[in-house]
Amino acid sequence: GTKKKAACPGLGLFYTVLSAFLFSVASLFLKKIEDVHSVEVSAFRCVFQMAFVLPGLIYYKTGFLGPKGKRIFLFFRGFLGSSAMILLYYAFQVMPLADATVITFSSPVFTSLLAWIFLKEKYSVWDLLFTLFAVTGVVLIARPPFLFGSNVKGIEGSYTDHLKGTIAAITSTVSAASTFVILRKVGKSVHYFLSIWYYAVIGLIGCVIALFVMNEWRLPYCGKDRVLLILIGLLGLGGQIFLTKALQIEKAGPVAIMKTMDVVFAFILQILFLNHLPTWWTVGGALCVVASSSGTAIRKWQQSLKKAKQNEI
């Protein structure tokens, strides 16, 4: 018989880096858009997601609603996931790119905490330590006045916008962590495409309602913003595809560690294209959050390897 072709070593990690780069460039383009609200950008992103997922739903014959017992979980996955995207886009628009990226990178730590609360998963002293590291990093980036005084330097625009962006980024992170817990609860009983479908449909409905309530719906005035909107949708979709492919051929632990490149790319793009040098507070916060999320990923990876060896025995 023919031998199965060996997978290229490191291909999954390369896909992870490529995914991080595409997501970072999409975030940079979001900063460059001038006259489009973050909710409207999210709506365009949802349209691209739906256009990508619809052929897959038809091909795999999954239906559009999913199993009856799982629909409530899919609804909350879609609601929380789309809310996380909208809040993240808002944070990118009102605060430095690197700051928002670093805060959202603490998602694995909050996932462990929520999984302990709702799924009764083990939560060790190490997990508590990583959580404290992540919170410390977020505080260093937010720099609340009651700790750092009223004269806060190194932020974009007013401190009020910086604080709003920080709150939006933290809420986005917790919402994203909640979606991971829901996906763990659902397991493999629901097709991946169906999960994205709920995310895109509920997100689009929510965005349209919010835009009409805020009276913010309008087509971009200039051609540059229209091109950037399309590129954001395509880059976000590409980043999602490469991240999915990485998780299909590589263990989750190394992928999670390699995703620290998100933070690296955010710092590089912010310096090169936005002419905004990060402060030492941001660098310190980034180191705390990256150490926290990497430590969480390494522990989960070790636990999965240990469990796999026990199953072999």
Contact 279, 95 (CB under 8 A): no
The pLDDT tens digits of the residues spanning 46-84 come to 888 888 888 888 888 888 887 888 888 889 988 998 899
> What local confidence, expressed as pLDDT, does residue 3 receive?
43
The pLDDT tens digits of the residues spanning 117-144 come to 888 878 888 888 988 988 898 888 877 7
Identify the band that residue 167 occupies on the pLDDT scale cut at 50, 70 and 90: very high
Average pLDDT of the segment spanning 189-203: 84
Average pLDDT of the segment spanning 92-111: 85
Average pLDDT of the segment spanning 291-313: 77
Q: Over the chain, what HEC string results?
A: CCCCCCCCCCHHHHHHHHHHHHHHHHHHHHHHCCCCCHHHHHHHHHHHHHHHHHHHHHHHCCCCCCCHHHHHHHHHHHHHHHHHHHHHHHHHHHCCHHHHHHHHCCHHHHHHHHHHHHCCCCCCHHHHHHHHHHHHHHHHHHCCHHHHCCCCCCCCCCHHHHHHHHHHHHHHHHHHHHHHHHHHHHHHHCCHHHHHHHHHHHHHHHHHHHHHHHCCCCCCCCHHHHHHHHHHHHHHHHHHHHHHHHHHHCCHHHHHHHCCHHHHHHHHHHHHHCCCCCCHHHHHHHHHHHHHHHHHHHHHHHHHHHHHHHHHC
- Mean per-residue pLDDT of the chain: 82
> What local confidence, expressed as pLDDT, does residue 4 receive?
44
What spatial distance separates the first Cα and last Cα of the chain, rounded to whole Å? 30
pTM: 0.81
For the cut 50, the answer to whether the pLDDT of residue 5 exceeds it is no
Contact 92, 27 (CB under 8 A): yes
Provide the percentage of residues in the chain whose pLDDT is more than 90. 8
